[in-house]
């Protein structure tokens, strides 16, 4: 499924719609170049799950992982850009995180350790300044129904 996001609000709306469909054991794999919209999506997703629009959501670029507690349980936000290799994930509470909800930026660096059935969101610039196009794969079509923001 491909969705066109006209602006930041559309990205945030999509994040909220997907957050409503998530449950413990789900993994969202966020791909795309720098500035493609991954961090905007992740912040909106986490704020929606935490039911806190003002929540501080720092980038996990240097820590590699940032844990959160939400009404739906534990959420781990990973940024694997600086990861040395998939084996390093075991030092980052990866197994524990797989039991909760996971947001994984640069998921290709997780190799075979990325959970099966992850929702892959691939962000690309759109034709306008703030527009994006996102491809969604990995979840059954009925779980994606109604996601157009």
Q: CA-CA distances (angstroms) from residue 128 to 73, 87, 134? A: 36, 39, 14
Question: How confident is residue 60, by pLDDT bands cut at 50, 70 and 90?
Answer: low
Give the residues across from 79 on adjacent strands: 105
Which of 58-67, 80-89, 102-111 is most confident?
Answer: 102-111
pLDDT, residue 82, reads: 81
pLDDT tens digits for range 16-45 = 999 999 999 999 999 998 777 888 899 999
> pLDDT over 90 for what percent of the chain?
47
Which of 45, 82, 51 is closest to 64 using CA atoms? 82
Predicted TM-score of the model (pTM) = 0.89
Which strands, in side-by-side order, build the sheet including 119-125?
2-5, 132-137, 119-125, 27-31, 101-105, 73-79, 65-70
DSSP state letter for 67 = E
Q: What is the mean pLDDT of residues 47-66?
A: 79
Segments making up each domain of the chain, as ranges: 2-139
Question: How confident is residue 58, by pLDDT bands cut at 50, 70 and 90?
Answer: low
pLDDT tens digits for range 78-105 = 988 887 777 788 888 888 898 999 999 9
pLDDT, residue 75, reads: 94
pLDDT, residue 130, reads: 80
Name the CATH topology of 2-139: Rossmann fold (3.40.50)
Q: What is the mean pLDDT of residues 1-23?
A: 92
Q: CA-CA distances (angstroms) from residue 93 to 10, 45, 98, 129? A: 32, 21, 9, 37
Q: What is the mean pLDDT of residues 64-77?
A: 91
């Amino acid at each position: 499924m491909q969705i066109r996001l006209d602006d930041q609000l559309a990205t945030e709306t999509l994040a909220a719609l997907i957050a409503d469909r998530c449950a413990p054991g789900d993994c969202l794999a966020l791909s795309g170049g720098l500035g493609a919209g991954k961090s905007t999506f992740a912040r909106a997703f986490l704020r929606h799950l935490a039911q806190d629009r003002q929540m501080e959501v720092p980038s996990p670029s240097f820590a590699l992982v940032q844990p959160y507690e939400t009404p739906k349980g534990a959420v781990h936000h990973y940024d694997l850009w600086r990861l040395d290799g998939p084996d390093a994930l075991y030092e980052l509470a990866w197994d524990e995180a797989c039991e909760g909800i996971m947001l994984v930026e640069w998921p290709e660096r997780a190799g075979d350790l990325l959970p099966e059935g992850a929702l892959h969101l691939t962000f690309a610039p759109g034709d306008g300044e703030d527009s994006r196009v996102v491809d969604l794969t990995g979840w059954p079509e009925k779980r994606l129904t109604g996601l157009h923001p």
